[in-house]
Chain A
Amino acid sequence: MEETMNKTAQPVIDSKIPEGPIAEKWTNYKAHQKLVNPANKRRLDIIVVGTGLAGASAAATLGEMGFNVLNFCIQDSPRRAHSIAAQGGINAAKNYQNDGDSVYRLFYDTVKGGDYRAREANVYRLAEVSNNIIDQCVAQGVPFAREYGGLLANRSFGGAQVSRTFYAKGQTGQQLLLGAYSSLNRQINAGKVKSYNRYEMHDVVIIDGRARGIIAKNLVTGKLERFAAHAVVIATGGYGNTYFLSTNAMACNCSAAMACYRKGAMFANPAYVQIHPTCIPVHGDKQSKLTLMSESLRNDGRIWVPKNIEDAKKLQAGEIKGSDIPEKERDYYLERRYPAFGNLVPRDVASRAAKERCDKGYGVNNTGLAVFLDFSEAINRLGIDVIRQRYGNLFDMYEEITDVNPGELANEIDGVKYYNPMMIYPAIHYTMGGIWVDYELQTSVKGLFAIGECNFSDHGANRLGASALMQGLADGYFVLPYTIQNYLSDQITVPRFSTDTPEFEAAEKAVQDNLDRLMSIQGKRSVDSIHKELGHIMWEYVGMGRTREGLETALQKLKELRKEFETNLFIPGTQEGMNNELDKAFRLRDFIAMGELIAYDALSRNESCGGHFREEYQTEEGEAKRDDENYFYVSCWKYNGSDETAPTQVKEPLHYEAIKVQTRNYKN
């Protein structure tokens, strides 16, 4: 099937990359772009959906500039968006540690970490504005960690050989989001931003080919409402919850992105899903959510499984504990396989290596699906106080969930002290794919922009740790507020819209019809039971290791699952007032469509790269085998008018000028 897809006509995709050498593109763009003068900004309205790092920072900045902003969030307050849960840190090319960092090196590491599937120009701009983000956040009063001399502290993260990660304990996302939230609050107080909480976007309204508003549901009253604006910005995060169990928050969903996709915005690289190596393993079938342990733990924690299969079997049977196994019987497999980067290899590499060991039978818990993350060596070297200062809150969190304290002395063998290790296993965490955008972050629909995790632009096939926060804030504070003006400059004569137009009428009716249909099915199965089934299909066939056969099976099973959803769903209650089950059902319909999109994309990409690993395409050592000759492109998908029909693939070829494309090497 994918051969025919590859041969389909190639419409030219204009990614609007500015002319000039890579280091000058963004400067050139800003020097020549069109701007909107202050008097005209007051006449223009912008809808921003989402209040995470990207959404809140964009809404606040656009408000500061003088635009009128309507800002929507699904939670009860903008401060609760899932960016808040990011633990580890944010990258920037400050080179405060004098370890040889630079804008170019951050750019290079990000492109390499993304397995050479990101757009060069976007990534360079990201690295360029990274330093402004740190300055901005410090000025807002974000309490980053500091050294005794009063200057900012840094730590190292996966995929880099420099220490460029800024952090605020294990709560960096929280502090950055609260910084953006404070700027947002200032604009709400000033009347420039109007904030709509407990609202969920259900559709985007297109008039004469341009995005002109949204239909949103007031989750408290259950009523649909119409909102008009001169431009619409989507900042609604990723689609990780397609897999049911993920580290995403419970309300994270892809419905806003799917609404844009169904209205003509292309969806890019859906197969690139990041599986995070350090999550607390699944403990039973009643679980609703997985918990991430920050990647920063890999700075001092060493990952291992037993060398001997007998020891692994005893661990699985609960006969011995990790601390009973002495140093010489442990296989620190990341240090063994990747001497140069060791435990700090990128996430995709670390996740696959854990899967490889567990598949071979070396898993260390009762399900055989876990590896150890051990702090004994670090505690013996630095003392428990230093380690607790660095990771205390993570240790406490781990103990609360698992009843095991990783800082507790557990055994002493031949004079060496062994502490309780953590158990970890990979889990769905982040999605690199997303709505296709050009250099201006505009989607393939005019006036519709996508920022943060919900676009595809900067991370290629794999995202490095501490880069999500960087991208969200780069888009929201420093990129979109410029590029959106290039679009709005010729909209200044367009008066404010009424929502009493046939287009709004039709969009609202379609949304209402969909909700009526869901309510009327009155079958036997709960939303969650179908969602769990979706999760099983996705994890089994479209997860860490994919094959052509498995993906074809997945597509078949997803088709059956959609039928089950359409005919056997049960939603209690009415549409009046709040109805959580109806809201979840609305999202699940889109998760199923998203699952298919991921599978189509994964099937069409006959190579392994970053978060997409096809078992047919690997080296003898089990490393991912890329195919730059045939797959050096962004894979974009166009909706064909129905969820039942396969989408059409369109390719955006990648052009690298500054970086030589080569095999990723973390060994030496």
Chain B
Amino acid sequence: MENSISFKLKVWRQKDAKSQGQFVTYDVNDIPTDTSFLEMLDILNEQLVEKGEEPIHFDHDCREGICGMCSLYINGHPHGPATGATTCQLYMRRFHDGDTITVEPWRSAAFPVIKDLMVNRNALDQIQQAGGYVSFNTGGAQDANAIPISKVAADEAMDSASCIGCGACVAACKNGSAMLFVSAKVSQFALLPQGKAEAKKRVKAMLSKMDELGFGNCTNTGACAAECPKNIKLSNIARLNREFICAKCAD
């Protein structure tokens, strides 16, 4: 019941942040179509190691589409051709025998390459550190059911909170903007009573950190939402803008 395909894999290789990189093409043969994309890279790497060559370095961890560690720009799409899925959830049945598959790292000014397909996404953490939290110390919380929250608001907050912080939105954006990423966190807290108290401070701090770190501006193209593996909606950016304008008006 198993089909196999053979194809050319055109991969970006770069020794380290300072070296010049280039594409290297590998012939990959007889890959069962129920292999995941990253397992295919594992197989290729095993062959490279057997030949005494250095394997292709790429980020990955949970392989269940939730940790946000995997990246890869495959055939011009962050996380490849599948929608609503990360690279680790991409299966080879999406490709055909004889294809040439191009694999690049995330390309963005804010994400310098570390090695091969691995980039440094520390800037996303820094944006979260600037304000992506509720200022609340452990202990002393009131009973969890003390404040009822409508199911609609809770569900919507959950949808925004589903962001895995992979950076596909930044990689997809022609401006290299992190607006979808920032708006997801701002929206989650804006929708919940717990986040209201410092909403104004939060939105200003996160956006100013985003600007400071070299991310571009948003021009509402929508590529971010189209490529997001977790289907984070563009309406989060509208909410972010509204939160920001309200915060600025209150200054």
Chain A residues packing against B (C-beta within 8 Å):
57, 60-61, 64, 75-82, 84-85, 94, 96, 132, 134-141, 143-152, 168-169, 171, 173-175, 178, 181-183, 185-186, 188-189, 195, 197, 220, 249-251, 283-284, 286-289, 291-292, 318, 366, 396-397, 400-403, 477-478, 481, 526, 528-529, 570, 572-573, 577-581
B247 CB, min distance to chain A CBs, angstroms: 18
Are A286 and B39 in touch, CB under 8 angstroms? yes
With both beta carbons as reference points, the residue of chain A lying nearest to B33 in the complex is identified as: A403
Q: How far is the CB of B203 from chain A (nearest CB, A)?
A: 14
B97 on the A face (CB < 8 A): no
Chain A neighbourhood of B134, CB < 8 A: 139-141, 182
- Beyond the given A134-B144, A144-B144, A250-B63, could you list 12 further A-B residue pairs with CB under 8 A, ordered by the A residue number? A77-B125, A77-B165, A85-B62, A132-B139, A175-B161, A185-B129, A186-B135, A250-B62, A284-B35, A286-B43, A400-B85, A403-B91
Are B60 and A250 touching (Cβ within 8 A)?
yes
With A135-B143, A136-B138, A286-B32 as given contacts, are A145 and B154 in contact (CB-CB < 8 Å)?
Answer: yes
Instruction: With CB as the reference atom, state the residue of chain B lying closest to A477.
Output: B138
**A252 (CB) vs chain B CBs: closest residue:** B61
A580→B144 contact, CB < 8 A: no
Taking a contact as CB atoms under 8 Å apart, the answer to whether B46 and A529 are in contact is yes
**Does B228 lie at the interface of the complex (its beta carbon under 8 Å from any beta carbon of A)?**
no
Cβ-defined contact, A138 with B151, below 8 A: no
Q: Which residues of A contact B125 (CB under 8 A)?
A: 77-79, 185, 195, 197
Q: Mark B27-56, 1 if CB is under 8 A from A, else 0.
A: 000001011101100110010111011110
CB pair A84–B136 under 8 Å, yes or no, is: no
B121 proximal to A (CB < 8 A): yes
Q: Does B1 contact A (CB under 8 A)?
A: yes
- A262 to chain B minimum Cβ distance, whole angstroms, is 26
8 A Cβ contacts from B157-214 to A? 157-158, 161-162, 164-165, 188-189, 192, 194-195
B62, A148: Cβ atoms closer than 8 Å? no
**Contact (Cβ within 8 A) B138 A578:** no
Q: How far is the CA of A60 from the CA of B2 in the complex (A)?
A: 49
- How far does the Cβ of B2 sit from chain A's closest Cβ, in whole Å? 8
From A148, A149, A526, A573, B46 is in contact (CB under 8 Å) with: A526
Q: Please name the residue on chain B nearest to A532 by beta carbon.
A: B46
Tell me, rounded to whole Å, the shortest Cβ–Cβ distance linking B186 to chain A.
Answer: 12
B249 at the interface (CB under 8 A from A): no
In the complex, are the beta carbons of B144 and A77 less than 8 A apart? no
Is the Cβ of A182 less than 8 Å from the Cβ of B122?
no
A143 in contact with B192 given A182-B132, A289-B63 (CB within 8 Å) = yes
Q: Tell yes or no: B68 within 8 A of A by CB.
A: yes
Task: For the complex, give the distance between the alpha carbons of A189 and B142 in Å.
Answer: 25
In the complex, what's the smallest C-beta–C-beta distance from A398 to chain B, in angstroms?
11
6 A-B contacts (beta carbon < 8 Å) = A76-B121, A138-B144, A182-B128, A397-B64, A578-B118, A580-B55
Shortest CB-to-CB span from B36 to chain A, Å, is 8
**Closest chain A CB from B103 CB (angstroms):** 16
CB atoms of B142 and A140 under 8 A apart? no
A151 and B32 contacting across the interface, CB-CB below 8 Å? no
Q: Within the complex, what minimum Cβ distance (angstroms) separates B24 from chain A?
A: 15
B63, B89, B93, B192, most chain A CB atoms within 10 A: B63
- Residues 92 to 111 of chain B near chain A (Cβ within 8 Å): 93
Q: Is the interface of B mostly helix, strand, loop or mixed?
A: loop
B114 at the A interface (CB under 8 A): yes
Contact B141 A136 (CB under 8 A): yes
For B1, list chain A residues within 8 Å (CB): 318, 366
Q: Name the A residues within 8 Å of B89 (CB-CB).
A: 397, 400-401
- Cβ of B128 and Cβ of A572 under 8 Å apart? no
Q: Is there contact, CB below 8 Å, between A139 and B42? A: no
Q: With an 8 A cutoff between CB atoms, is B221 at the interface?
A: no
Given A60-B138, A185-B133, A577 contacting B69 (CB threshold 8 A): no
Closest Cβ–Cβ distance, residue A478 to chain B (whole Å)? 7
Complex formed: what's the CA distance from A56 to B114 in Å? 25
Kindly provide the distance from the CB of B121 to the nearest chain A CB, expressed in whole angstroms.
6
A79 to B2, CA, bound (A): 37
The answer, among B32, B49, B60, B137, for a CB contact under 8 Å with A572, is B49
Q: Contact between A578 and B189 (Cβ–Cβ < 8 Å)?
A: no
In the assembly, what is the distance between CA of A189 and CA of B133, in Å? 11
| B145 close to chain A: CB less than 8 A | yes
In the assembled complex, the Cα of A284 lies from the Cα of B55 at a distance in Å of 22
Assembly CA distance A182 to B198 (angstroms): 14
CA distance A147 to B194 in the complex (A): 18
The answer on a CB contact under 8 Å between B136 and A292 is no
- What's the least CB distance linking A576 to chain B, in Å? 9
- Does A580 contact B84, Cβ atoms closer than 8 Å? no
Closest to A318 in B: B1
- In the complex the two chains form, is B145's CB within 8 Å of A284's CB? no
Distance (Å) between the CB of B64 and the closest chain A CB?
5
Q: How far is the CA of A94 from the CA of B143 in the complex (A)?
A: 10
Query: Does the CB pair B151–A146 fall under 8 Å?
Result: yes
Q: Name the B residues within 8 Å of A175 (CB-CB).
A: 158, 161
- Find chain A residues with CB under 8 A from B38 CB: 288
Nearest chain-B residue to A578 (Cβ)? B115
- Chain A CB within 8 A of B5 CB: no
Task: Indicate if the CB atoms of B133 and A150 lie closer than 8 Å.
Answer: no
